[in-house]
Structure 1
Amino acid sequence: MLDAKRGRWAVAAMFMVNGFAMGAWAPQIPLLLPRHGIGEGAMGLLILGLGLGAVSAMLFAGRLIQRFGSRFVLTGFATLLVPVLPLIVLAPTVPLLALAMMVFGAVAGCMDVAMNANAVEVERRLGRAIMSSSHGFWSLGGFLGGSLGSLIIGAAGPVTQAGTVAIVMALTVMLARPFLMQAPRPASTEDHPPAALFPRAPIVWLLGFTALLCMVPEGAIMDWSALYLTDELGLPLSAAGLGFALFSGAMAMMRFAGDAVRNRFGAVRTLRVSGLIAAGALIGAAVAPTPALALLAFGLAGLGIANTVPIMFSAAGNLPGMAHGAALSTVTMIGYAGILVAPSSIGFIAEHAGFRGTWAGLAVCLIFVAAMAGHAKVADGVRPH
């Protein structure tokens, strides 16, 4: 049990490393445009390449985890992630920048699957949920990477920031690696045949689609809440980021509390109530007459959405009869596709239906999540070995 408790904090450190890298990357984005003489459109395509690299690589993560174990895969990709930000910052040409960003996405994506798989293993050993707070550590890492990274860029420049981030990540990975949990290896390949690139079990795709519906609203609020608040509700531009700030802050707080909630009420009830809270919040955003009420609605949406994705990942990692990591990689891939789908599709819908209709439509997605909550009951199948 002591090893499991240490493993719990070790995998939390890995979640924080992944979030720290993504947070530190964000303040570098505006600096790349003048450095390479590119515009916002080209930068958007480069960022899309990063996302596509992540989602594509997730397809193969499950097979790697089955063959080598989540601990080995997690430490390997965490180590590969360390030098990626300096490579992006030091890329001398746009083609090399595009390649570095795709590598960034692929490595971070595979690490994401492996750290979720390792968190599932810790849940099994401890016999209780730890997934929500693990994702809370990712949010904390993103906050620290973004805020401290911006300060370092302002004080010492982008190259120094990238190097400092790499050093912090390397030290954290080195300290956490010895304490990560390792899943028991299967006795034979006959017991657990190699994971198919696309699992055929319908439940895997249902969980993945449900995870996608959880993540699309997150991406929509991230990308479009500021425009809605300023253009339709008259919020000053200086406060445009408050919608996503309140959303992400509420999400982080609820994720740290989410494990206790799930351990108390179970995955199904937690998912169902969370989906309904988030749906109600987005309906509130759709009908809000003032910026203050819309901001309150986005904060409530963060509370509701916070625990949905961690529950879906726990459910995928505990599906009976599935090779370790196989279902989780597919569900993760489909779910994170929602972050890629949201910016373009939401913009198209909003152009024709308006943002109020868009938020109402996203509320319907979350009502579907609540209706499908019964399929997440396997998330509670965590038992100590």
Structure 2
Amino acid sequence: MDAATFRRRAVYGRWAVASAFFFNGFLVGSWAPQIPVFMTRLGISEFTLGLLILVFGIGALASMPWCGYLIEKHGSRAVIKGFAIFCSFSLLLVALAPNVISAAPALFLFGAVIGGMDVAMNANAVEVEKKLSRAVMSSSHGFWSLGGFAGGGLGGILIEAHGHLAHAVVVTIIAIAIGLIAFRFMITEDAPVRHEKQKLTFPTNPLIYLIGLMALFSMVPEGSVLDWAALYLRQERGADIATAGFAFAAFSGTMSIMRFLGDGVRDRFGAVNTLRISALIGASGMLAASIAPTSWIAILAFAFSGLGIANMVPIAFSAAGNQQGTSSGVALSMVTLMGYSGILVAPSAIGFVGGKTGFGPIYMVLAGLLVVVALMANLARSADQKVR
């Protein structure tokens, strides 16, 4: 294959994996406006709804360790396509569930295929980075955020106009169309390298777990802002409901913008420097939010923190996927599992503690976790490896 053809396929693959991130985020974003209807339709309490949402998270975490084996055996492209088929119909399955007994396994499956695809598309983004010899991970996560925004925005309009079932059908059609048009251009590893022989195994390189810890410490603050920032502003800073809602909006808005800018920043300054500075920015914003005297200052602080946190997880994923001696799928399955625990599991514990101590001290502790990531930044050196 000549250089021009190699480059062209890599560029097509870059936009194909961006489409995969958008696809995944679009489905997750489409679930969000379904939740109030889901609760009313099944006649369940907030407590039961919380348990069902936890089932979604458990499904995601349960599937992630298996993805390393699947990617190692079949390549990330085949795994993405396989999970995408199930993802396309998963929201429709939840929308059709008539009761809690059927909704629970439907949500578990939804979480499992979304989580499995998440691992595979991150592995594919690492491969694109190798072939293009430049970073694409941060902007890929930006496309996930963009997909979530599109799914949530379109969902509210369609459900209001045509009902939850019609919305789920439209989402299914859009997902299938994205897959058919974009995923055929996806690249894959030249030959899946089987470093680990067992059917299901865990990485033997301890550095993988340290990188996973960095991902965890980076994602716990993100999950905490998502789940508890509005309540913090409402209860402890006297904000009204409308103002409290701006906390996560400002945080996610700056994260989305910075993720699209992050690849260029990382290519210029290197992964280690970018991660260290990003972690310190995130910690500064989180600390300022914890001691802010007014709700609007806290909102600005959360927005500033989002600028830093935006690119921390993408760098950690790139570092894991480039570890020598371990396949990118095996490494990423573990780092993704550890990282996403920070969004799917940790906020429950944070809510319990915050109810006893208040959330100001919680955000102060989370700032400390981000400082720890800054101190560990040298472990992300492998994120700058660009090897064909």
Instruction: Report the TM-score, using the length of structure 1 for normalisation.
Output: 0.97
The residue type paired with residue 265 of structure 1 is: F
**Separation of aligned partners in 1, 2:358 and 2:47:** 23
Counterpart residue type for residue 253 of structure 1: I
Aligned partner of 1:249 among 231, 250, 253: 253
**Is the CA contact (8 Å cut-off) linking 1:66 and 1:195 kept in structure 2?**
no
Which of 115, 121, 127 is the matching residue for 1:121?
A: 127
Indicate the SS of the match to 2:197: coil
- Aligned pairs for 1:98-247 (under 5 A) are 98-186=104-192, 193-194=197-198, 196-247=200-251
Deviation at 1:196, TM superposition (A): 4.9
Q: Distance in 1 between matches of 2:70 and 2:374?
A: 32
Distance 1:93 1:154 in 2: 22
Choose which of 58, 78, 82 in structure 1 pairs with 2:84.
78
Equivalent residue letter for 2:74: F
Q: Is the 8 A contact 2:321 2:327 kept in 1?
A: no
State which drifts further: 210-219 or 85-94. 85-94
- Within the candidate set 82, 87, 96, 1:90 is matched to 96
Residue by residue over 1:165-206, the C-alpha shift from the partner in whole angstroms, topping out at 9 and shown as x without a partner, is 11001000111121101101147x5x6634752222211111
Provide structure 2 residue ranges, at least 5 long, that are not aligned to the other structure: 1-6
Matched, 1:23 2:29: yes
Counterpart in the other structure of 2:327: 323
Q: Cα distance, 1:344 vs. partner?
A: 1.6
List runs of 5+ in structure 1 lacking aligned partners: none
Q: What is the rounded CA distance, in whole Å, between the counterparts of 2:64 and 2:201 in structure 1? A: 10
C-alpha contact 1:275 1:305 (8 A) present in aligned 2: yes
Match of 1:342 in 2: 346
User: Do structure 1's residue 5 and structure 2's residue 7 form an aligned pair?
Assistant: no
Identity fraction in percent: 52
Q: Deviations over 1:105-145 (max 9, x none)?
A: 00001100000000000000000000000000000000000
Q: In 2, Cα distance between the equivalents of 1:66 and 1:142? A: 29
Measure the CA separation in 1 of the matches of 2:381 and 2:324: 12
Residues 1:54 and 2:60 aligned together: yes
| Matched-pair contact (CA < 8 Å) for 1:216–1:341 | no
| Cα displacement string for residues 303-355 of structure 1 (whole angstroms, at most 9, x for unaligned residues) | 01000000000001000010231111000011001112332221122233321
**Residues 76-85 or 62-71, more deviating:** 76-85
Residues 335-385 of structure 1: CA distance to partner in whole angstroms, max 9, x if unpaired?
Answer: 0011123322211222333211111100000000100000000000013x2
My pick for the range that moved more, 136-145 or 76-85, is 76-85
Quote the Cα distance in structure 2 between the aligned partners of 1:324 and 1:184.
Answer: 13
Matched to 2:283, the amino acid is A
The 8 Å contact of residues 217 and 342 in structure 1, kept in 2 or not, is answered as: no
Q: CA deviation at 1:92?
A: 1.8
How many correspondences in the alignment? 382
Residue aligned with 2:13, SS? helix
Q: Is the 8 A contact 2:74 2:192 kept in 1?
A: no
1:235-257 CA deviation, whole Å, 9 max, x = no partner?
11122210000000000000000
Which residue matches 2:311? 307
Q: How large is the RMSD of aligned CA atoms in angstroms?
A: 1.2
Aligned equivalents of 2:236, 2:104: Cα separation in 1: 36
Q: Structure 1 stretch 31-40 or stretch 53-62: which is displaced more?
A: 31-40
Determine if contact 2:320/2:328 at 8 Å carries over to the other structure: no
Query: Equivalents in 2 of 1:344, 1:288: separation in Å?
Result: 24
* 1:239-278 → structure 2 map (5 Å cutoff): 239-278=243-282
CA distance in 1, matches of 2:272, 2:220: 21
CA shift in 2, pair 1:83/1:196, >3 Å: closer
The TM-score, its normalising length taken from structure 2, stands at 0.96
**Secondary structure of 2:59's aligned partner:** helix
Preserved CA contact (<8 Å) 2:142 2:257? yes
Q: Is contact 1:274–1:307 with CA below 8 Å preserved after alignment?
A: yes
20-29 or 86-95: bigger deviation: 86-95
Name the CA distance, whole Å, in 1 between partners of 2:38 and 2:16: 33
Q: Is the 8 A contact 1:193 1:323 kept in 2?
A: no
Alpha-carbon distance in structure 2 between the residues aligned to 1:158 and 1:69: 36
Q: Distance in 2 between matches of 1:186 and 1:352?
A: 50
Q: Does 1:376 align with 2:352?
A: no
